[in-house]
Amino acid sequence: MLKNPEDRRARRSRRMLKESLLELMKKKTFSEISVRDVTDGADMNRGTFYLHYAGTAELLQSLEDDLLEEVQALIDAHIPETVAKGSVGPVLGPVVDFIVEHRETCAVLFSSSEASRFIQSLQQLISRNGAALLETWFHTRDQARTEYFLSFLTWGFIGLLEEWFRQGMALPKAELVNAAQRMADGAAAGLFART
């Protein structure tokens, strides 16, 4: 069965608009970027833009949502092994690989104050998945302690990645993942008792 050419064209148009927005965000603040800027960069007309998005804010949100959905799919694919091993290691490697593959996009989104929703959404995604793991491993009852731990872990992981990128990824990925895993496991073991 052939895929609908309209769907393929629509996906291509959305991808090109997102790529254009990212390129513009490397040069300008988000508030300075107009629909015309995005469409000029994508070599499209404004009518095509408005077929897909109401404005640049919706385009940015769609870009962020796409990335977060891919991260969640990776987590979902590796969570059974993570649960079985009782450690975050099996999920960290693939997530770091994904972030490295999308490093440029993540760097733009992390550095844009208008795109701070992305960082908050990423933090919520990590917390949501982390809370489920903590419940599985430790049967946590102390909600405040769980939230402190997840906040510490999430912001620590984001900071670890930012520092790794700042240092040109000089530390081998396996060592970074291993260090993050040890930090997460050590912090969890210090706060929660396995049941």
Whole-number average pLDDT of the chain:
89
Residue type for position 16: M
Q: How far apart are alpha carbons 158 and 101 in whole angstroms?
A: 16
User: In this predicted structure, what is the pLDDT of residue 15?
Assistant: 96
Distance CA 63, CA 66 (A): 5
What is the structure's pLDDT at 33?
95
pLDDT of residue 2: 45
Task: Give the pLDDT band of residue 74 (cuts 50, 70, 90).
Answer: very high
The rounded distance, in Å, linking the Cα atoms of 175 and 155 is: 19
Query: What is the pLDDT at residue 64?
Result: 93
pLDDT tens digits, one per residue of 109-135: 888 877 668 888 888 898 889 888 888
- Give 33-66 pLDDT, tens digit per residue: 999 999 999 999 999 999 999 999 999 999 999 9
Q: How many CB atoms lie within 10 A of CB 53?
A: 20
- Determine the pLDDT at residue 3: 54
In which band, very low, low, confident or very high, does the pLDDT at 194 lie, cut at 50, 70 and 90? Answer: low
Q: In this predicted structure, which of 75-79, 124-128, 140-144, 160-164 has the lowest mean pLDDT?
A: 140-144
Q: What is the largest CA-CA distance in the chain?
A: 60
- The b-or-e profile of 67-92 (16+ CB within 10 A means b, else e) is beeebeebbeebbeebeeeebbbbbb
Residue 80 — very low, low, confident or very high, per pLDDT cuts 50/70/90?
very high
Cα 158 to Cα 47, 96, 126, 155, distances in angstroms: 38, 11, 10, 5
What six digits make up the tokens of 62?
């769609």
